[in-house]
Amino acid sequence: MTGWAKTTKGIADIVAGERERWLLWAPVAFGAGVGLYFGLPWEPPGLAGTFILVLASLVAWRLRTNLIVALIFLGVAFGAGGFAAAQLRTHLVAAPVLVKPYGPAGVTGRVVRVEMRPGGPRVTLENVSLNRMDPAATPALVRIKLRRGDIVDIGDRIDVFAKLMPPSAPSAPGAYDFQRRSWFQGLGAVGFAMGSARPADRGGQAAEWSPALFMAALRLHMTGRIRATLPGESGAVAAALMTGDRSAISQESLDFMRDSGLAHLLAISGLHLGLVAATLFFGLRALLALSERLTLRYPIKKWSAGVAIAGGFAYLLLAGATVPTQRAFAMTGLVLLAVLLDRQAISMRLVAWAAIIILAIAPESILGASFQMSFAAVVALIAFYEASRDRFREVRTAVGHGVAARVTLYAGGVAATTIIASFATGLIALHHFGRIAVYGLPANMLAVPLTALWIMPWAVIAAVLMPLGLDGVPLTLMGWGIDGLLWIAGGISAWPGAVRPVAALPVGGLILVALGGLWLCLWRRRWRYAGLLGLLAGLASLGLQQGPDILVSDNGGLMAVRMADGRLSVSQRRRDSRIADDWLEQEGQGESLYWPEGQASMDGRLRCDGLGCIYKAGGRAVALLRDGLAHDEDCRIADILISARPVRGNCSAPLLVIDRFDLWRHGATAIWLDGDDIRVRTVADYQGARPWSSRRNRGK
């Protein structure tokens, strides 16, 4: 037998020995196909995924006697299934999107969502009518921020004088893509009111109600009742935990929760839905166990599991059935279903099935931090406890069953869970948020037990008693717990160095981290430790990433340049502060630097006057112009000319000219000055010609 044959046989033996873990890689392959679809710069042929799925399945069946080859083609088939699912979903949700600003003009529509924000309500409208716009081109859903004092309700049909814009493109190549998210939400325009909202003439037609509208109205009513009982921040957080409406939480509280590593407690996820189900399951089971007859003669455990599933489903609907809550219900529901079927309640296989279900329903969720972080945490925790199960039994036996022992075991379990989950999600958070909550462990050690043992049980009791008007006491008790939660968040976020900004992990690094972590967690044998190489390679990509030397927003109103110390300096345009914050977050830069006014920067790279600035780096002179009066002069002396105004006439001397029209066509632009090489990447390059990209028809 040759060396290659021995190696192949050895690999086949190892893979065969992991037979019970093969299924766990099905959602990984499915998700890889979804990711490949979204990563393409162009829209593939309609049946490409389906064709590859059928072909790979046939090849896998034909070569089933060759284990390795058959598994490879089976993985390709699952990947093609994910690719086809993502493509189908993209075209099923297709709806008109505003292609240019509209108004100020009249907007008429029916209210399907209300968010009660401090500055005024924000509403989502359906059945929209826009003046002088073809109904076929009118967005299906429009989101408008109303004026303070406007009062609207779910189902109202309103008229409002408003300014609408298309969903905004990414602030830089590689930044968060709101256009893509809006596409899958069916949201075709966003804007703000320039007058008060008023009831629209229904033309004699009665309002049409649906289950979705009923749940939205119930959610709004419950949110208002919660905030009336618990005014201030306690009520805002209670509403976020019970109905998913975070709109009234102040920015200060959000910052406290984020900087302390507790922001995950504000988003309804597997933790919250699991706590609701657990409260119903154990509460009802304990209540039924008071009857000896019921306990001995009937399956009260299964009854409790059934009620917990129903309660979890109600919570799903109440929270708006968003993708994160769908994912949480799928996982929690499968756990409770296992109880009904007398199977192991929590296992890696259940997680795999939950992942496949969610990806089949909403393939786009794989791109979001919520999906990635929640599944990373669950997979890491199950893998850890699978490997440590025997050791934990020994520890439990050694410490005994006293109160002190139980408290110690619980504290140790919370600590271990927090450490494992924080490590698993922290690497993903580097990609999405560009910051590390340094004291997340002590914060979660205090906040998670408070949430699990006090806040959420009272939330469940309040929801059950609310139809009877008896929710006042449980909401008040819940509010005490929320006050403690905010106190913990505020105190820990104020500790020195509580937040450490870091550069965003590149997409390639995120993929390496994900594959390395999955290899480490999904296999059982010693070859699993090869996954550590993927984790290390992903982290190493942070050091290989080089940020752009120049950034320009899509309208030229904001620019940034890299100074000699490696930090970005931003032109002072306060109205574009959100874009500047996005840029600095991607860089992991905690503080803002601004261009000097009428003078040179300390390092001599940047010199500004009233018309613009000259930036010198990499042996290049770059003219950054705010006013068209400087075009003629800078066209003669600059290597690169970037202008927020159109550049007219002859300007052939610079190697690169980017003006207002270029920015309109291609979006925000990043430029790297690598010696003789000048690299340019635009948002249009990043998005590609995809259905959700507003620039797909603007040309290059």
| Angstrom distance (rounded) from CA 15 to CA 20 | 10
Indicate whether 324 and 473 sit together in one domain: yes
Indicate whether 283 and 325 sit together in one domain: yes
pLDDT tens, residue by residue, 10-33: 666 677 777 888 889 999 999 999
**Of 481, 516, 544, the domain-final residue:** 544
Residue of higher predicted confidence among 337 and 184: 184
Token pair for 478: 């819940």
Residue for token digits 């905010």?
Answer: 486
pLDDT at 391: 73
- At residue 580 the predicted structure's pLDDT band, cuts being 50, 70 and 90, is confident
Indicate whether 243 and 388 sit together in one domain: yes
Mean pLDDT of all residues in 449-473: 88
Residue 176 maps to a domain? yes
For the chain, give the longest Cα–Cα distance. 95
Q: E-assigned strands of 652-692?
A: 656-658, 669-674, 677-682
Question: If you average pLDDT over every residue of the chain, what do you get?
Answer: 85
Number of domains in the chain: 5
Indicate whether 436 and 565 sit together in one domain: no
- Overall size of the chain counted in residues: 700
- At residue 8 the predicted structure's pLDDT band, cuts being 50, 70 and 90, is low
Mean pLDDT of all residues in 230-259: 88
CATH code at 109? 2.40.50
Mean pLDDT of all residues in 393-399: 66
Indicate whether 278 and 426 sit together in one domain: yes
| Angstrom distance (rounded) from CA 175 to CA 167 | 14
Residue 693 maps to a domain? no
Which residues touch 685 (CB under 8 Å, ≥6 apart)?
41, 173, 666
Residue 107 maps to a domain? yes
**Of 51, 68, 92, the domain-final residue:** 92
Query: 127 — phi, psi (to 5°)?
Result: 50, 50
Indicate whether 521 and 579 sit together in one domain: no
Residue 163 maps to a domain? yes
pLDDT tens, residue by residue, 362-394: 899 899 888 888 888 889 888 888 887 777 776
Indicate whether 529 and 623 sit together in one domain: no
pLDDT tens, residue by residue, 539-577: 888 877 788 999 999 888 899 999 888 889 898 755 557
Query: 249 — phi, psi (to 5°)?
Result: -70, 130
Query: 68 — phi, psi (to 5°)?
Result: -60, -50
Nearest to 189 by CA among 231, 225, 141: 141
Residue 513 maps to a domain? yes
Which residues span the domain enclosing 106?
102-208
Q: How many CB atoms are located within 10 Å of the residue 85 CB? A: 22
Global pTM reads 0.87
Indicate whether 239 and 279 sit together in one domain: yes
Indicate whether 236 and 190 sit together in one domain: no
Indicate whether 404 and 450 sit together in one domain: yes
Fill in the amino acid letter for 501. Answer: P
Mean pLDDT of all residues in 126-134: 88
Indicate whether 147 and 295 sit together in one domain: no
- At residue 596 the predicted structure's pLDDT band, cuts being 50, 70 and 90, is confident
Q: E-assigned strands of 471-524?
A: 499-501
Does the pLDDT value for residue 87 go beyond 90?
Answer: yes
Indicate whether 35 and 164 sit together in one domain: no
Nearest to 86 by CA among 130, 133, 31, 139: 31
